[in-house]
Structure 1
Amino acid sequence: MTLFSQKAFNSILSMAQNMLRLAAERAQSAVTPEMIEKELNKLAILMEEDFALVDREALVDELIRRSSRTVGDNATLSSGEDHVPWLDSERKKGWTYWRRYSEYMEARVPWSALDALDVATDEILSQLEDPNREGAWDRRGLVVGHVQSGKTGNYTGLICKAADSGYKIIIVLAGLHNNLRAQTQIRLDEGFLGFATISDADELPAVGVGLIDSDTSVRPNAATNRSDKGDFNTAVAAKMNISPEQRPWLFVVKKNKTVLERLLHWIRNRVANHVDPETGRKLVTNLPLLVIDDESDHGSVDTGEDVVDEVGNPDLEHEPKTINRLIRSILHHFSRTAYVGYTATPFANIFIHDRGETQEHGPDLFPAAFITNLAAPSNYVGPGRVFGSASSTPDGLPLIRPLVEADFKPWIPQGHKSGYRPRWQGGERIPDTLAEAIRSFVYACAVRKLRGQGSKHSSMLVHVTRFTSVQSAVVSQVADYVRDLKGRYMRGMDLADLEANMRAEYETVFLPGMRRIRSALVEDEKLEDFEWSALRAVLPDILTDIRVREINGTAKDALDYVENEGTGLKVIAIGGDKLARGLTLEGLCTSYFLRTARMYDTLMQMGRWFGYRDGYLDVCRLYTSEEMVEWFGHIADAAEELRQEFDNMVAAGATPKQFGLRVKSHSVLTITSRAKMRNARAMQLTYSGDLLQTIVFPNRKDDITANFRATDRFVEALGLSLDLNQQQFVPNGQRWNGHLWREVPALSVVSFLRGYRTHPASFRIMSPLIADFIEEMNKGLELVHWTVALIGKDSGPDDKHRTIGGCSINMLQRNRTTEHSDRYSIKTLISPRDQAIDLTETEWTTALELSRRTWRNDTDRNEGKEPPSEPRGPQIRRILGEGVKGAGSPHRRDRGLLMLYLLDPAGASDALADADPVVAWAISFPGSTSDRRVSNASYVGNSVLWGGLNDWVD
C-alpha cells in the first residue's frame, strides 16, 4: 500500500467507524456486515477519489475486526486524603490537545478502544489534583498495564488532558537508553506536540496531531528532541525561560544521573520563584508539574537500606540511591506536583516503603494516592494467553516452539563470558533451531506480503546473551545464514534440496501451526492460507529486503521504522538489554529467546512478543527453552494472583496503603532484584484465603507408590462416604463423580499431610509446613473441621477407574507441561467449580455475585467474554471467611476443604503407564482475620503487609 493509499484508507476508516458507531447506537444493536456495506456505500459517493485508491474488501475486513473488539473494565484503589474532586464535564469544555489526539487515534484503534482510553485517562486524571487548586499538594499514583499493551498511548492521552486542564510542566522519564528515549519522543511528537522535534532544523514539520490541527499558536513547547542525542542539555537550558502564561512544556528525558542533575539545576536556578522560609528550599509555586515515569519499576526504585527505623518511623537523614533521589528532588522543588508511574511489572513498586521520606528529598515514590489496573482489549495477546494461567491453559501452547538444551547449549552455554565465540558442530555458525526460526520469519514475511501487509513492518528478535561482544558474533553468523539463503534463491544455485526441505517444512509444520493458532487464539478474523507456490514467488524479494541489525550500546545500527514507514522494515534485531525493556519491535513475528534472567519483572519485560498482532498472529512463533516456558507460566500465575488480590481490595473499598501484597516466590526465580526488596521481609506466613494445589510430582515409581499408600490409608480411615452429588447445594445441570466426607477432624488431615511427600521442586506446596499452619490455626478454633472430596473425571470414552481406600474413582488425565528428568509437572490441577463443593445455596449465590462484581472482561486473564456463571475461587474463600452479611450465614473459618485426585501416571511418562496412580491434592482455605502465622521464606510481603496496615479486613 502506497503512502497515498494508506492515507485514503485511514481517512475512510475513521469516517466509517464514526458513522457505524452512530448507526449501532440508533439501532441499539451490534455492528452487522449489512451496516458496514450501507455506510461504505454512502462514503463511496462522498469520497470517490479516496475509494479509488483502496481495496474495499480490506476496508470491510478491518471494520468487521474493529467492530468485534471489546475492552475490559479498569479497577482503581484510591485515597481521598488531601484530595478535592474536580474533573467534571464543565472542566472538559474547550479541550484542544485531547480532541486532536482522539481524532488522530480514530484511524488507528477501534472505537471501543478509544472510548476505553478516554475513560481510563479521565479516571487517572481525576485522581490527580486540579492544577488550578491553590496551595501545596502532592499526588502519587501507579498505573499497571500489561506488557506491550499500549501504556505509551495511555500516558500520551493523559498528558494531552493534563495539558488541557492546566498542567504547565510535563516531564516524561523514558527509560535508561537513548534509543528508548528517542522512540518515546517520536511517539509524543505525533500524539501531543504535533511537530517533529528535529534538531537544528529551521522549520519543524507537522506530524501526527499537527496534521489534524494546523494552528501553531496551540503548539506545546519542547525542551528535548527526537535525535539520539536529543535529551535535555545545558545549551537548551540556557535558552529556556518559562512563565505561567506560556503553553505547556514537554521534557522527555532518560533516567540518567547527568541528565536529571542538569534538569534539577535548571529548575532550581531558572524556574523556582519562591524560597521556603523554614528550610531554605527553592520552590516552584506558580507552575503545576506532572511527572510520567515510564517503566517506573526500572531505575526509579530506591535500593538503599534503612529507609525507616525499627519501629517504622522514616529516617529523615536517609540517603536514597541516585536516580530515586533525583526524581524525588525534582518533585520536591514544586509545591504542586503529580507523579504517575507506569509499569506492567509492579513487583518492585509494591516494595517501596509506604512511609519512606527524607527532609531533603521528600516522600518516596510509593503510590499513596492511587493504583489503577488497566484491562487489556480482547485482541491483546499476553502471558495469560501465550503461556496459559492456572485457570486456563491454551491447547498445547501453539505459539511456542520449546527447545531442549541440546538444541542450543553447545552454541550458547549457560554462564558463558564476554568474548565467547559461539560455535555449532565445529564451525562458527548458528544452530539448526535458530536457522529454523529464521526460515519461520521468512515464511511470516511472505504470508504477510501475500495478505497485502507487505508495507507493514515485520521484525524478528534474537536475544541469547547480554554480552555485546557475543552479540556481534551472533550478528555475523545470522547475517551469513540470511546471505546464503538469499544467494541461493537469487541465483538458483544449489537450491533444489533447500527448496524441497523448506517446502516440506512450510507444508507440514508452519502451515498446520498457523491453523492451530487460529483455532486457539484468533477470533473475528479471516486469515488466509497460501500454497507453497505463492510463497515461492515472493521469497527472493523477501530475502532481499531482510536486514540484520545489532541493537546494543556499541552498535551503530538502529531500528529506523519511521524512515521505512511507506515500505515496511523487515529486520532481524539482535541484542541484549536494549531489547529487553521498553523498546518496541514493530510487527514482531518471530522470537528466539534464550536469556536466563531470573527475576519476575526482568523476564516479563523481556517478553517483547506480547502485544497486538491483528492480521498476522497465526504466523508468529516463539522459540525458547522449556525451562523458560515453565518460568513464564509461573510469572503469569503470580501476576494474576496479584490482580485477583487487587480486585478483592477494590471491592472492599481499600486504599493503596491498605493494599498488603503478597507475591509468589520461586525456588529459582526471585521476584525482583534483591536490592529492590530491602523493604520486603521473609514472612511469618498465612495460607488463609489461599488455594494450594500440587502441580509437581515425583516420577519414580517408588515415590509415587509411597504417596498412593499414604493416601489409601487416609481415605480408608475416613469411613463410609457420601456420593459427591449429596452436597448442600448442587446447581441445576451439574453432576459430579466422586465421594464426600464431612466433619473430618483436623488431626486426620494433618496426619495425611505429614505422610505425603511433596516434591523438593515444589516451591510453594510443602506439606509439612501446611500441616504446621493448620495446627497453628486450630489453636484459635479455626480449620478444626474439614470437608474432604475425592474427585473423579467426568465419564467418557477414555475412563480409567482405580480404587483407593475402598473407593472407586475415575483417574484424571493431566499431561506434563515440560520435560524434566526428576519430576512430573502439570499446569493446573483443579476445575474452577471444585472450590464450591458443599457450599450452601446462600454462600454459592453470594460468591457468584462477588465474582461478577470483580470480573473485568480482561482477555489476558482468561476470564471469558461473559460474566462468570459460577463463583470463582478467590471470592468463595473470601465469603467463607467473612460470612454472608444480612443473610444469617456466619463465617466458616472453622472449615477447610481438601480435594483429592488420582492422575493417570501415563500422563507423566509412557514408562509409568503401569505405575500406581499419581495422587494430587488441593486445599481451599477460607479467609481469616487471625494473625496466626508459620515461618517460611516462600513468600515476601511489602511494608504495608508486614507493617500491620491490613487491619481494615476486620
Structure 2
Amino acid sequence: MNQRAFDSILSMAQNMLRRASEREQSPITPEMIERELKKLELVAADDFDEIDRDALVEELIRRSSRTVGENATLFSGEDHVPWLNADRKKGWSYWRRYSEYMETRLPWTALDALDVATDEVLAQLEDPLREGAWDRRGLVVGHVQSGKTGNYAGLICKAADAGYKIIIVLAGLHNNLRSQTQIRLDEGFLGFATISDGDDLPAVGVGLIDSDRSIRPNAATNRSDSGDFNTQLAARMNVSPEQRPWLFVIKKNKTVLERLLHWIRNRVADHTDPVTGRKLVTNLPLLVIDDESDHGSVDTGEDVVDENGNPDTEHQPTTINRLIRSVLHHFTRKAYVGYTATPFANIFIHDKGETEEHGPDLFPSAFITNLAAPSNYVGPGRVFGSSSATPENLPLIRPLEDSEFQSWMPQKHKSHWRPRWNGEDRIPDSLAEAVRSFIYACAVRKLRGQGAKHSSMLVHVSRFTAIQSTVVNQVASYVQDLKGRYSRSIDLASVEDLMRREYENVFLPGMATIRAVLVEGENLKDFAWSDIRSILPDVISDIRVREINGTAKDALDYADNEATGLKVIAVGGDKLARGLTLEGLCTSYFLRTARMYDTLMQMGRWFGYRDGYLDVCRLYTSLEMIEWFGHIADAAEELRQEFDNMVAAGATPKQFGLRVRSHSVLTITSRAKMRNAKAMQLTYAGDLLQTIVFPNDPTPLQANFYAADRFLSRLGAPVDLNMQAYRPEGQRWSGYLWRDAGSLDVITFLREYQTHSASFRIMSPLIADFIEEMNKDGELINWTVALIGKEGEADRSIAGHPITMLDRKKTVDHPDRYSIKTLISPRDQAIDLTEKQWNAALARSQETWRKGDAERNEGKEPPKEPRGPEIRRVLGDGHPGMDVLPRRDRGLLMMYLLDPDKADVPVLRGGPPVAAWALSFPSSTSTRTVSNSKYMGNSVLWGELNGWVD
C-alpha cells in the first residue's frame, strides 16, 4: 500500500466528514463515511487504486469515535493584558502547516482540542509585541505518554507566529531524549532535518507541506546525539530582532546551560541595567518550554525563605534551577511554561522563592492548565484502576508472585549482582513468557496489516548498567533459541505445543476481555493459532534486542526503520524511565521498585495510545507495584479534583495549597524537592474515607463485626433507607437509616474497630481524634448512619437487622490482607440529602465535570446524579444561589457487610462477615487538625496556615 497516498486520502476524507457532520448536525456514521468516500473517489481515483480501502474505512470509523475531555485552567491576571483574538491569529503560517501535518495523525476532534488547548496556554502568556518588562510562568499538566510533545510543538508554532523570537526547549537530562525531541520539532516546527554535517538540509514534516524557505525558523541545535548547543556554534550565531525565530533544543545540563547563558550575555544582550549591572535582552521576547519540568529543574536547596516566610534574596539555588532562572532573568520580556505529567515536585516549589541574582523561582504563579485525556488514552486510572474507574483484574496486567522473579532479580540488589535462574545464566520463566507474549502481539499486529508499524517491548528490572548488559544477553539468547527452533524446526515440538496452548487458552481470551472493557469504536480481529504459526518464523526473525543506557551504543532507531517498522526489545534503566518514547509499546516487564510518586509514574512507559492493538498489550509486574500504582492513580485523581475545585472557585495558583496523598512506603517525590513541604496537621474535612484493606485472619474480622454489631445496637430503631429526606426518581437503596446518632457513639465505634496496619490512610483512632476536635467547634456532632446492602434476599443479620452482603473481590493476592478497590457505590453519599441539597450538589458536579476525560472516568454527557466531592462541598459550604445552608454539624457513616465467600480469599471462606465502613465529611473552614506525618503540604498551604499568604 502507498502510505503517502493513504495519508493524503485520509486527510481529505477526514475534512470532508467533518464538514458533513457540521452541515448535517449529526455524528459521523459508517453510512456517512461511505457516502463521502464515494465523492472523494471520483476526484482521486488513482490514489484509491494504491490504498487499502477497508483499512481506510476502519481508520475513519476509529477516529470518528474519539472524544476529548475539557481542560481546566486556573490563572492569575496580575500584570497580564488579554491579547489573543481572531485578528492576532490572521496570517499565521507555522500553526497552519503544523495543523495540516497533524491531520493524518489525529482525529479531527483531537486536532480541534489541540487548537483549543494551545490557544488557552498561549493566551495566558503575554503578547510578545507588548512593550515594557513582563514575566509569565505557568505549568501544563498532562498525562504520561499522552502527547505533551505534540502539544508544546503546537504552542511553539503559535508563539513563533505571534512574535516570540527565541524559543528554548529544555528536553530532559540525556542525549537520546534531547535528540528525540529535536527530531519531533524538526518535523513539527522547523520543517527540515537538522543533520549535523549537511549543507542542504532536507525538508521533513511541515517542510513537505510548505516549502517556502523564507519562513524557515533558525536552528541552534541539531538532531545528532552530540547536537546540543556548543561554543563553536555559538561563535557563529548572531541574532537580531528582524530575523526569523530561533529554536534551541538543549539538555538540562550545567555545561550546556552555562554556554547558553554566556552567549546570551555576550552576543544577544542589548542593554545593561544601570542599577544592578545585569545585561539584559530587551528586544527579543523569550519563550522557555521546560519538558518534564519536575525533573532537574526544581531547586532542591535549603532555606529559600526565613522563619517568617520572607524570601532569602541571597539564597543559592541548585545548579540547573539557578541556570534556568538566570536565563530568564536576562530577558525583560519572557514566558516560562513547564510541562509534566507528574506535578508533585512543581507544587512544592516555594511560591515566594526569589533572589536578586537569579530572579523568581519557577513556581507556576501565572497559570496551571490541566489537560484532559482523550477517550483513547490508557493511563494509570484505566490500567490499574482508581477509586472511580476501571474494573479490576484485567488481563492487561499479569501479576508476578515474588517466587517468579526474586531469586533472579531481588528487589534490593547491588551493581555486582549476577542474575541466575535455577542456577543457570538465563531469564526467569516469567520473562520468557513475557517475550512470547510480545511475539504474539507482533504476529497479531502483522496479520492486522500493522506489520510496518513499530512494535516495542520494555524490560526494566535494574538501574545498574552492568546488570542490564547481562539481562540483554539472556533475553537475546532466549530470542535466538526460539529463532533457531522455528527456522530449522529443531527440538520444536515441545516449544510449539507450549506456545499454542498459551496463545489459545490465555492470550486470545485475554484479548477479548480487554476489548470488551477498554476498546471502543474499533473492529479488532482475532486469529487462529494456524494463522499465527504461519508467520512466527518471520516475526521472531525480525525482533532485535537493544540495550538502552548511558554506556551502551545501541539506539532505538525508529526513524531509520520507518518503512518496515522496528521490532525491538529494549532493556534499560533510567534512560527508559522518563520522557523517552517507546514506539508501539506492546509488552512491559517491570520490576523496578522506586518509591516516589513521580519516578514510578514516569517509569510507566506503558501508558499512552494503543489504537488498533490495545488488546495485545501486556504488563508483567509485581503485586506490590500493582498496589502502589493503584494508590498513585488515586493520588493523581485527587490532585486533578483539586484543580477543578480551584477553577470552579475562580482561584489563582497562589490562593490554594494543594495536598498530595502520602503512603507508608512511598514518598511523593524526592526529599530534596520537598524541602518546602512539611508534615501536615491533618484535616479530614471534605474527604471520603473508606475501608478497603482488611485482615486475612478471622479473629480480628470477628472482633470488628462485634464492634459494628454493638454500635448499631446502641442506635435504637432504624427507618427504611428509602424513607430518607429525598429519593430521586429511579433511585433505591437496600438497608436501614438512623438519624441524629451522637458523635460519641461514632467515636466509640472507631476506637473499637481495628483498621489494618497496611491501611496507610484509614486509621480509625486518628479519625476518632479528628471528630473529637471538630466537636469543639460544634461540627460533626450529629450523624446519619446507614447500613447498606444489596437487593435480594437477606443472607446475614447484624444488630438484629437482616441485610444482604456485598460482593467485593480481592484486587491482588496478599499473604496478610484482603484488599479491594472500592467499597461504596457512587450514589451512596447522596443518602439523606434534601431535595435542595441534592440539586445543589448536582449543579456543582456539572460545573466541575470535564467532558469525556476517559482517564478520570468522565462520561460524554454531564452527570445526572451528584458526585461525592460536590456533595461534601455543598454540605460544608452551602450554595447561596440555590438557597442551601451549610450543615457542618452532620457527618455520614455508611456501614456494609462483605461476603467472605465472594472475596476470592480461601482463608476467609465460611468465616465471619467483613464489617466495612465509609465516612463522608462535609467541607469545613475550621482550623482543627490532628497530627499525621503521612500527608505533605506545599508552601502555599502551610503558608496559609501560618498567615504568610498575601
Is the structural similarity TM-score above 0.5? Answer: yes
Q: For 1:500, which of 497, 507, 512 is the aligned residue?
A: 497
2:143 alignment partner in structure 1: 146
2:847 corresponding residue in structure 1: 853
Q: Alignment partner for residue 909 of structure 2, among 901, 907, 913?
A: 913
| CA deviation profile, 1:915-936 (whole Å, cap 9, x unmatched) | 2111111100000111111111
Q: Is the 8 A contact 1:658 1:949 kept in 2?
A: no
Normalised TM-score (structure 1): 0.98
What value does the CA root-mean-square deviation take over the aligned residues?
1.3
Q: How far did 1:904 drift?
A: 1.2
Alignment partner, residue 866 of structure 1: 861
Equivalent in the alignment of 2:808 = 814
Does 2:785 correspond to 1:788?
yes
Displacement of 1:41: 1.2
Query: Shift in Å at residue 698 of structure 1?
Result: 1.2
Which sections of structure 1, spanning at least 5 residues, go unmatched?
none
**1:320 match:** 317
Q: Residue 375 of structure 1: SS of its match in structure 2?
A: coil
Tell me the SS of whatever aligns to 2:672. Answer: helix
919-928 or 799-808: bigger deviation? 799-808
Offset of residue 887 of structure 1: 3.7
Query: Which of 520, 526, 529 does residue 529 from structure 1 map onto?
Result: 526
Which whole-Å CA distance do the structure 1 matches of 2:161 and 2:32 have between them?
36
Kindly provide the amino acid, as one letter, of the partner of residue 838 in structure 2.
W
Q: 1:398 to 1:370 in 2, by over 3 A?
A: same
- State whether structure 2 residue 830 is matched by structure 1 residue 833: no
Asked if 1:902 is matched to 2:901, the reply is no
**For 1:119-518, what aligned pairs fall within 5 Å after superposition?**
119-518=116-515
Name which of 592, 604, 608 aligns with 1:607.
Answer: 604
1:16 aligns with 2:16: no
Q: 1:864 offset after TM fit, Å? A: 2.4
CA distance 1:952–1:415, shift in 2 (3 Å): closer
- The 1:451/1:951 distance shift into structure 2, 3 A limit, reads farther
- Asked if 1:625 corresponds to 2:619, the answer is no
Q: CA deviation at 1:953?
A: 13
Q: Which of 715, 723, 726 pairs up with 1:726? A: 723
1:425 to partner: Cα distance: 0.8
In structure 2, the partner of 1:566 is 563
Aligned mate of 1:554, from 543, 548, 551: 551
Given residue 42 of structure 2, which amino acid in structure 1 is its aligned partner?
Answer: I
State the distance in 2 between where 1:327 and 1:774 align: 46
Which amino acid is the alignment partner of residue 467 of structure 1?
F
1:935 aligned counterpart, secondary structure: strand
User: After superposition, what is the alpha-carbon deviation per residue over 1:148-185, rounded to whole angstroms, capped at 9, x for unaligned?
Assistant: 00000000000000000000000000000000000000
Q: Which residue of 1 aligns with 2:751?
A: 754
Given that 2:794 and 2:802 are in contact with CA atoms closer than 8 Å, whether structure 1 keeps it comes out as no
Asked whether the equivalents of residues 770 and 929 of structure 2 are also in contact (C-alpha less than 8 Å), the reply is yes
CA distance in 2, matches of 1:950, 1:800: 53
Q: CA deviation at 1:422?
A: 0.6
CA contact (8 A) 2:144 2:602 kept: yes
Any idea what the Cα deviations from partners look like across 1:462-502, whole Å, max 9, x if unmatched?
Answer: 00000000000000000000000000100011111111111
Matched, 1:893 2:888: yes
Is 1:592 the counterpart of 2:613? The answer is: no
Structure 1 residue 708 and structure 2 residue 708: aligned? no
Change (3 A) 1:564 1:365: same
> Aligned-pair distance for 1:256?
0.5
* 8 Å CA contact retained: 1:660, 1:950: no
User: Matched residues in 1 for 2:945 and 2:281: separation?
Assistant: 34
Question: Aligned residue for 1:945?
Answer: 941
- Aligned partners of 1:746 and 1:774 also within 8 Å: yes
**Structure 1's 654 and 950: CA in aligned 2 closer, same or farther, altered over 3 A?**
farther
Distance, in Å, in 1 between the alignment partners of 2:524 and 2:64 is 17
- Cα displacement string for residues 622-665 of structure 1 (whole angstroms, at most 9, x for unaligned residues): 00001111000000000001111111110010100012111110
Aligned residue identity for 1:943: S
Contact 1:461 1:588 in 2 (8 A): yes
Please say if residues 696 and 907 of structure 2, whose CA atoms lie closer than 8 Å, have aligned partners that are also in contact.
Answer: no
Aligned match for 1:927, one of 923, 930, 934: 923
Does the CA contact (< 8 Å) of 1:714 and 1:752 recur in 2?
A: yes
1:85-112 per-residue CA deviation (whole Å, 9 max, x = no partner) reads 0000000000010000000001110000
Aligned residues of 1:190 and 1:208 also touching (Cα < 8 A): yes
Alpha-carbon deviations, 1:269-316, whole Å to 9, x = none? 110111111111110000000000000000000001110001100000
User: Quick one: which of 843, 861, 871 aligns to 1:876?
Assistant: 871
Secondary structure of residue in 2 paired with 1:236: helix
Deviations 1:402-456 (Å, cap 9, x if unpaired)?
A: 0000000010012111121110011000000100100000010010000000000
Partner of 1:660: 657
Gaps of 5+ in 2: none
> For residue 719 of structure 2, what is the amino acid of its counterpart?
L
Matched, 1:94 2:91: yes
Give the Å deviation of 1:802: 1.2
Once the two structures are TM-superposed, the CA of residue 908 in structure 1 deviates from its matched residue by 5.6
- CA contact 1:659–1:950 (8 Å) conserved in 2: no
**Any idea what the Cα deviations from partners look like across 1:124-167, whole Å, max 9, x if unmatched?**
00000000101100000000001100000000000000000000
* AA at the equivalent of 2:856: R
* Cα displacement (A) at 1:395: 4.4
Q: Aligned partner of 2:485: which letter? A: R
Q: Distance in 2 between matches of 1:64 and 1:630?
A: 36
Structure 2 letter corresponding to 1:822: D
The correspondence for 1:676, drawn from 668, 673, 677, is 673
Matches within 5 A, 1:35-46: 35-46=32-43
* Structure-1 separation of matches of 2:638 and 2:526: 38
Matched to 2:405, the amino acid is F
Match of 1:558, SS state, is: coil
3-state SS of paired residue (1:243): coil
Cα shift at 1:832: 0.2
Q: Which moved more, 1:880-889 or 1:112-121?
A: 880-889
Distance in 1, Cα, partners of 2:204 & 2:881: 59
1:537-548 matches, within 5 Å, as 537-548=534-545
Contact 2:796-2:803 within 8 A present in 1 as well: yes
Is 1:844 aligned to 2:838, yes or no? yes
Do the aligned partners of 1:79 and 1:656 also contact (CA within 8 Å) in 2? yes
What is the aligned residue count? 948
Q: SS of the residue aligned with 1:644?
A: helix
Look up the SS of the partner of 1:138 in the other structure: strand
Q: What percent of counterpart residues are identical?
A: 77
Inter-partner Cα distance in structure 2 for 1:215 and 1:919:
71
2:392/2:821 contact within 8 Å kept: no
Q: Quote the offset at 1:504 in angstroms.
A: 0.9
